[in-house]
Structures are given as structure tokens and as C-alpha cells.
Amino acid sequence: MKPSGRVTAVAATLLVLSMVSSVLLLQQVDKVRSNATLKEVLYISSPKTIKRLSLGYNSLMADIYWTRAVQYFGGKLHAGDRHYELLGPLLEITTGLDPKLLVAYEYGSNFLGAPPPLGAGDPQQAIQLIEFGIKNNPDQWHLYYDLGFVYYLELKDYQAAEKAFEAGSHTPNAHPFMKLMAGNMAQHAGEYEMARMLWTATYQSAYEKLIRANAAAHLRAITVDEDVLALNQIVARYRNEKGHLPQSFADLISAGLLRGVPQDPLGHSYKLAADGSIEVADPDSLPFIQHGLPPGYVPTQAVKLLPVE
Amino acid sequence: MSARILHIASNTFREAVRDRVLYNLIAFAVLMSGAAILVGQISINIERLVVINLGLTAISLFGIVIAIFIGIGLVSKEIDKRTLYTVLSRPVRRWEFIAGKFCGLGGTLVVNTICMAVGIFAALLYIWPHHLQASDTSILVALYFIILQFLIITALALLFSSFSSPLLSAIFAFALFVIGTFSEDLRGFAQMTHGAERWLATAAAYMVPNISALNVIAQVAHEQQIPGQLIVLNTAYALVYSFMALLGAVLIFERRNLK
């Protein structure tokens, strides 16, 4: 090998070794300074300052901050972490940089308003975010829908929810559900009926798979809760008629109270416990259910959302 | 346009290509394809927005950097290499030399922008096959405004390079670009002052190029229509401002002692 060839080979080897070493060292540094990168970025927390620094290219900066917000939320959700302190500021910066970025209001309010572990559990901050969005995009019915959604589902404030749906129903191209939902809020229609209507509208109007999967999981949970309540009534009726609890669903079927073994929306048969209570077979696959949970069941940290397609 | 100006312009274009200026297209292609493929996986519902925002921002910034760093060397390089004396010893007037250099760099930036624009539309077709929307034509308006920005910055770079060193010219041109992005704020601040200060502040605010009016990236990304009147006025403004800066460059260069 010529002297120059030898130098090239040695230099190339050293270069590769240096690159590998720097990556390994950085990984060690990251372990010592966990979460430091994101906190450093939020050292500038004022949307106005970031807007000035972006030299007019603020819409690209907004996209970057929105991606950071999604990554931050997704990372916490995946880890089962219940603390989302930076989510609000990240969304505030995003929408401050680009007030027309509708996706940040629609999904951001969902991230902020939903109770942990599926969200930050801060409906007031979600409301502030959507109200800022409505101020800048008064013709977008989706935003009024999101506002009514948070008022109803997270705060149970029927009057405010009705106002939001009513206002949204007057915007151009408003979803027909808006008028209907405003009416239902005013009449305080059944909880399950209203919740089903809201989640159905979310499922139908969202494009993002995660949001659709979340809506589908809530719709399944509503069905399970209604099924379990109805089955409890049937068991109680059997007990009144026969004077004892049914041993199995076969007893209820032979008594003419059921046509067959009832199944949950995922196709699993419900279980009839010895004490007459109804339980679901796979509670991990049915997040958000209020009824039918086995005694002592502890939900998993990270919520399992089944794919919608 | 005289044949002499065209000749200098075509030489300037060839020189820029020889200087590997168009290599920035490779960086742009990597950026666009990376954005188109990756953003869908790491974000929610902003694939189209990112392609438009990132694409137009990259075109603008790459072009501004080229306009400044090539523009500042257009005169000084010719003096350093002593090729200017050869050019001016022929029947070429000094103003024709400046005009030719401006047209040559402007042409380079237009070709560069057209290539990058093809990249943006290709990325849009990649993320949403067969679905270019009618509103996507407004991207062309944003691109046109970006070209107008380039003309202003090129003219300013030429103006500064006609009397200053390349380093100082680059600093001046870049500083004016940055200040130009705040020009509307500057006029707002001027409104808050009184008396002679107000006159001075207003004059200063109007002297800097209004780069912010030429930035419609956010509107285009959100499919908002750009009024025809704005297109006409921005065109007229950019041409007048560039002409003004070029006139300044010509006036200084005409009196410059090249011995």
C-alpha cells in the first residue's frame, strides 16, 4: 500500500470510530440529562418572541412546534405518564405562531381536556385554546363542536355546551349534528344518548386514526355500559321471579329473558359472576368502561386503543 | 435590453453554475423528500402544510443566501481577478456591467426557484397522489413573491458591493433583509413617535425593503386567495425598489476610481 493510501485507510477508520464514539457518548449524556432537550427549547415560551425570531417564516415554525406537541403527547401517552406540563405551552406557541392551524385546536383540545392517562385532564386550558381558535377562525364549525364537547364531556356544563353547539350550528357548512346536539343539551337528554352522538360525530369527522380509534373505543364503552346495566336488570328480574340468582346465561335464556349468550362489541361473551353481576371478558381491550369491570381490576398504565381499520 | 447586458448576464449565469450554486438543489431535494416521507409518521394532519411551508421557506432562504453571497462578489471578484478591466476596456458602460450582473444573478435565482417549485409539486403529488387542488396554484403566487424578494436583495447586495468589502456587504445586505421582515412593525413604531422623530422614524421605515409584504407563505399554506391588487402592487414595489438600489449602485460605481 502506498503511503497516501495508508493515511486514507487510517483516517477513514479513525473517522468511523470517532463517529461511533460520539454517538455512544451522546447516548450517555442523554441518560444523565433526561428530558433536557425539550425543556431547553421551551426556555423561550413566548409565542411573540418566537414569531419575531422566525423572520416571517412563522407558519413553518408552527408546524415544527405542532410536531413537538404531538411527539410530547404521544411519548407521554405511550409511557403511561400522567403529567403533561409542557403540552399547554407547546400548543399556545403553535397557535400563536399560526392562528389558522386548525388541527392544533381540534386535536390539541382533545389532548388537553381528556382525563389522564389519555390526556392532560385540564379542560379549562382546552377551552382557552379553542376560544382562541374561534376568535381567529369564527367560521369553523369544528371548533364550536370541540368547545361543546369539552363543556359537556369534561365539565358536564350543559348550558355552556348548548351555547357552543348552537353558535356552531350557524356557521357555514356546519354539521347537521350541531343543531341536534344543541337541542339535546337543552333538554338534558339521556347521558348515553348524548355521549354516543358526540363520539359518533367525532368518529365521522376525524381523519386521524388515533382520534378515530379513541372515538371508537368510547363508543364501544358506551355500548358495554348500556349492555351491563340492561343485563343487571334482567338478572334482578330473574331473581324476583325465581327467588334465586341465575347460575348461567342458560338459565336466563330458558326463562325467556334472553335470546342467546350476550356478547360485547368485540365479540367476547359477557360473564355472569356467582354474585349475579355481569363482567366483561377482556377489560384491557375495553378502556373507558364504567360498568362490567371484574372486582379488583387495575387498568393498564397505557390505554389500549384498537385500530379502526 | 442591449446585447452587451445580455452577454454579461449570460456570463454571470454560467459563472454561478460553474461555482456549483445549483448544488443547493440537491439539499432541497433531500429536504423535500425527507419532509414528505417523515412528517406523516411523526405528526398529525399537517403533511400538506409542511410540504408547502418547508418548501417555500427553503426556497426563500436558500435564494436569499445565494443572492447575498453571490451578489456581494459580483463586482469585487471582477476587481480582484482584474477581469473587470478587460470588460470595461471594451465598449461596455459601467451601468451596463451592473445591469448585466443583476440580470445574470436574477436569472440564476429564477432557474433555481423553478427547479425547486417542481420539487414542491412533486412532493405534494407524493403525499396525495393525483390530488393537486385548484388552490395549489396560489403556491405559484408565493413563489413569484419570493422571486421579487430575490430581486430586491440582489440589487441591495450589488449596491453594497459597489462601495464596500464583501464581508461588510454581506452583513449590510443580510441586516437589511432581517430589518425588512420587521418593516411593518417599524412603521407601527414610527406612528407612536412625535415631531421630527416621527418623520425620521417613518423615513427610515420606508427606506428598508418591505420583505414582510412579500411573504404570503402562511396564507398560501392555508389555501387563502391572494388578492390580484396585492400581486400588482408588490410587483411594482419590488421593481421600483430594486431599480432604486441598482441606480444607487450605478451612481457609486460610475464614480468609483478603479485604478
pLDDT tens, N- to C-terminus, chain A (309 residues): 666 788 888 889 999 999 999 988 888 887 777 655 555 457 777 888 888 888 888 899 999 899 889 888 888 887 777 788 888 999 999 999 999 999 899 889 988 988 887 788 899 999 999 999 999 999 998 899 899 989 988 888 888 888 888 888 888 888 877 777 777 776 665 677 778 887 887 788 776 677 788 788 889 988 999 999 999 999 999 999 888 889 888 988 988 888 889 999 888 999 988 888 899 888 888 887 888 888 877 766 555 666 655
Say yes or no for a CB contact (<8 Å) between B46 and A71: no
Q: What is the H or E stretch that residue A279 is in?
A: strand A278-279
Q: What's the confidence (pLDDT) of residue A40?
A: 46
Rounded to whole angstroms, the Cα distance separating A308 from B258 reads 74
Report chain B residues whose CB lies below 8 A from the CB of A67.
39, 42-43, 46
The cell for B198 is: 416621527
| Whether residue B75 has pLDDT greater than 80 | yes
| Packing angle, helices A87-97 and A58-79, rounded to 10 | 160
Indicate left, alpha or beta for B55 from its phi (over 0: left) and psi (-120 to 50: alpha). alpha
Q: Cβ(B159)–Cβ(B254) under 8 Å?
A: no
Query: For all residues of chain B together, what is the average pLDDT?
Result: 86
Question: What residue ranges in B63-212 does DSSP mark as E strands?
Answer: none
Tell me the percentage of chain B whose pLDDT exceeds 70: 97
Say yes or no for a CB contact (<8 Å) between A103 and B45: yes
Average pLDDT on B92-110 reads 90
Question: Nearest C-alpha of chain B: how many angstroms from A56?
Answer: 6
Rounded to whole angstroms, the Cα distance separating A45 from A241 reads 66
Question: Nearest C-alpha of chain B: how many angstroms from A61?
Answer: 9
Say yes or no for a CB contact (<8 Å) between B53 and A59: yes
Report chain B residues whose CB lies below 8 A from the CB of A210.
44
Amino acid sitting at position B195: G
Query: Closest residue of B to A75, CA-based?
Result: B42
Rounded to whole angstroms, the Cα distance separating A267 from A106 reads 32
Q: Which of A60, A90, A94 to mutate to test the interface with B (most CBs of B within 10 A)?
A: A60
Report chain A residues whose CB lies below 8 A from the CB of B135.
none
Average pLDDT on B94-111 reads 91
Q: Cβ(B248)–Cβ(B159) under 8 Å?
A: yes
Which residues of B have a CB under 8 Å from any CB of A?
A: 39, 42-46, 49-50, 53-54, 57, 60-61, 178, 181-182, 211-212, 215, 217-218, 221-222
The Cα-based distances of A76 to A71, A80, A102, A110 in angstroms read 8, 6, 23, 15
Rounded to whole angstroms, the Cα distance separating B81 from B196 reads 47
Higher pLDDT, B35 or A227: A227
Rounded to whole angstroms, the Cα distance separating B65 from B87 reads 27
Question: Nearest C-alpha of chain B: how many angstroms from A144?
Answer: 19
Q: What's the confidence (pLDDT) of residue A223?
A: 92
Query: Closest residue of A to B220, CA-based?
Result: A59
> Which residues, in sequence order, are CB contacts of B239 under 8 Å at separation 6+?
B151
Higher pLDDT, B176 or B82: B176
Q: ipTM of this model? A: 0.79
Nearest Cα to Cα of residue A124 among A159, A151, A91, A96: A151
Rounded to whole angstroms, the Cα distance separating A211 from A219 reads 12
Q: What's the confidence (pLDDT) of residue B130?
A: 65
Q: Which of A52, A58, A66 sits opposite B43 (nearest CB)?
A: A66
Block residue for cell numbers 337528554: A189
Q: Cβ(B25)–Cβ(B115) under 8 Å?
A: yes
Query: Closest residue of B to A52, CA-based?
Result: B182
Q: Cβ(B220)–Cβ(B142) under 8 Å?
A: yes
The cell for B59 is: 426556497
> For residue A154, what is the DSSP state?
I
Report chain A residues whose CB lies below 8 A from the CB of B212.
56
Report chain A residues whose CB lies below 8 A from the CB of B44.
66, 70, 103, 107, 208, 210
Q: Specify which residues A272 forms β-bridges with.
A: A278
Q: Cβ(A63)–Cβ(B49) under 8 Å?
A: yes
Q: What's the confidence (pLDDT) of residue A206?
A: 72
Higher pLDDT, B40 or A250: A250
Say yes or no for a CB contact (<8 Å) between B42 and A71: yes
| Packing angle, helices B138-161 and B166-181, rounded to 10 | 140
Q: What is the H or E stretch that residue A272 is in?
A: strand A271-272
Rounded to whole angstroms, the Cα distance separating B186 from B201 reads 8
Q: What's the confidence (pLDDT) of residue B152?
A: 95
Rg value, chain A, Cα: 26
Q: Cβ(B120)–Cβ(B31) under 8 Å?
A: no
Higher pLDDT, A118 or B49: B49
Q: Specify which residues A245 forms β-bridges with.
A: none
Say yes or no for a CB contact (<8 Å) between B43 and A59: no
Alpha helices in chain A (DSSP H): 3-32, 36-41, 47-53, 58-79, 87-97, 102-113, 123-136, 141-149, 158-169, 177-187, 191-205, 209-242, 249-254
DSSP strand pairing (A278-279 vs A271-272): antiparallel
| Whether residue B1 has pLDDT greater than 70 | no
pLDDT band at B159 (very low <50, low <70, confident <90, very high): very high
Query: Closest residue of B to A58, CA-based?
Result: B218
Rounded to whole angstroms, the Cα distance separating A304 from A105 reads 24
Query: Closest residue of A to B57, CA-based?
Result: A57
Other beta carbons within 10 Å of A33: 11
Q: Which of A56, A100, A208 sits opposite B211 (nearest CB)?
A: A56
